[in-house]
C-alpha cells in the first residue's frame, strides 16, 4: 500500500490505553505503509463529493471508458493507480474496491479501526472521538453529519453486505461502471419493510 498520510497522524501520539504503543521506528514519523485502518478526515466538501458522484455515474460514456480500459492490462493498471492517488488524498482510500463512499457521506468506513460498514460502534466518545484514536473524529460521526448536510442521511439506513477480501487493490470505479458492485447494499427503506432482504 502506498503512502498513508492520515491527516498528519503520527503513530507516536497513540500511546497509552486504547492506542497502539509507540515504537522507536515510528515515533515522530508519519505513518507510512499503513496496514491498520486509521480514521481519515475527507478533504472534499460534501457538496463537491456529491457533485463528483454525478460525474462518476455509470452513464454510457463512463461505461464505454471502463470497458476500453479493462481491455488493456497496462491501461487498467494506470487507471487503477490514478484512482488510488486521487482517492487516497481525498478520502484516505485503502482500495477495498467495494466503494461505500456514495452512501456514507463520503467519509470512508474502511478508515474505521474496526472497518465497520454499517454505522459507528458503541465506543464513540461524547465529542465524537474514535474509540481507538481519541484524537481523531469517528468516520461515522463525520459521515452522518456530511450526509445529513446534503439531505442524504437516509443513505446510512442501507444494510451493507460483507466485503469480499479478494478484491482489495482493484479499481472500484471499474467495478462500478461494469455493474459488478450492484449488491453492495440494500435499499434505504428497509426499516419500514417487514421482511429481511436476502444476504
Partner 1 sequence: MSALSDRLAAGKFTVTAELSPVRGASAAAMTDRAAALRGWVDAVNLTDNQGSHVRMSSWAAALAAKAAGLEPIMQMTCRDRNRIALQSDLLGAASAGIENFLFMSGDHPASGDHPGAKPVFDLDSTQLTWTAATMRDEGRLLSGAGLKPPPERIFLGAVENPFAPPLEFRAERAGKKIAAGARFIQTQYVFDTGVFAGWLRRLGDLGLLEACHVLAGVGVIRSARMLEFLSSGRVPGVVVPEPVRKRLGAVPADQTGAEGARVAAEIIAELRELPGVAGVHLLTAGYEKQTPALLEMAGVSRAD
Contact status: 12 vs partner 1 (CB under 8 A)? no
What is the footprint of partner 1 within residues 143-172 (CB under 8 A)? Answer: 144-145, 148, 153, 156-157, 159-162, 165
CB-CB contact of 152 with 66 (8 Å)? no
Q: Which of 2, 28, 82, 125 binds partner 1 (CB under 8 A)?
A: 125
Q: Which of 12, 13, 56, 119 binds partner 1 (CB under 8 A)?
A: 119
3-state secondary structure the chain: CCCCCCCCCEHHHCCCCCCCCCCCCCCCCECCCCCCCCCCCCCCCHHHHHHHHHHCCCCHHHHHHHHHHHHCHHHHHHHHHHHHHHHHHHHCCCCCCCCCHHHCCCCCHHHCCCCCCCCCCCCCCCCCECCCCCCCECHHHHHHHHHHHCCCHHHHHCCECCCCHHHCCCCHHHHHHCCCCCCCECCCCCCCCCCCCCC
Contact status: 136 vs partner 1 (CB under 8 A)? no
Q: Which of 12, 124, 167, 178 binds partner 1 (CB under 8 A)?
A: 124
Q: At its nearest, how many Å lie between partner 1 and the CB of residue 128? A: 5
Q: Which stretch binds partner 1 (CB under 8 A): 70-78, 96-104, 116-124, 176-184?
A: 116-124
Residues 86-115 as x/- pattern, contact with partner 1 by CB under 8 A: ---------------------------xxx
Q: At its nearest, how many Å lie between partner 1 and the CB of residue 105? A: 11
What is the footprint of partner 1 within residues 14-43 (CB under 8 A)? Answer: 17-21, 36
CB-CB contact of 131 with 121 (8 Å)? yes
Binding region for partner 1 (CB under 8 A): 17-21, 36, 113-128, 131-132, 134, 138, 140-141, 144-145, 148, 153, 156-157, 159-162, 165, 190-193, 196-199
Amino acid at each position: 500500500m502506498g503512502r498513508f498520510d492520515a491527516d498528519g497522524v503520527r503513530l507516536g501520539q497513540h500511546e497509552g490505553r486504547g492506542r497502539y504503543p509507540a515504537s522507536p521506528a515510528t515515533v515522530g514519523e508519519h505513518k507510512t505503509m499503513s496496514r491498520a485502518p486509521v480514521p481519515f478526515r475527507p478533504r472534499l466538501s460534501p457538496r463537491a463529493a456529491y457533485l463528483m458522484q454525478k460525474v462518476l455515474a455509470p452513464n454510457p460514456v463512463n461505461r464505454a471508458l471502463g470497458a476500453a480500459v479493462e481491455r488493456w492490462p497496462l491501461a487498467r493498471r494506470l487507471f487503477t493507480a490514478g484512482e488510488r492517488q486521487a482517492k487516497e488524498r481525498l478520502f484516505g482510500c485503502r482500495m477495498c474496491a467495494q466503494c461505500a463512499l456514495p452512501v456514507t457521506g463520503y467519509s470512508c468506513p474502511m478508515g474505521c479501526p474496526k472497518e465497520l460498514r454499517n454505522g459507528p460502534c458503541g465506543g464513540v466518545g461524547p465529542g465524537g472521538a474514535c474509540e481507538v484514536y481519541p484524537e481523531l473524529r469517528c468516520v461515522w460521526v463525520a459521515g452522518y453529519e456530511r450526509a445529513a448536510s446534503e439531505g442524504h442521511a437516509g443513505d446510512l439506513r442501507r444494510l451493507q453486505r460483507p466485503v469480499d477480501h479478494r478484491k482489495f487493490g482493484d479499481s472500484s470505479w471499474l467495478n462500478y461502471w461494469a455493474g459488478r458492485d450492484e449488491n453492495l447494499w440494500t435499499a434505504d427503506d428497509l426499516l419500514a419493510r417487514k421482511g429481511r432482504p436476502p444476504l
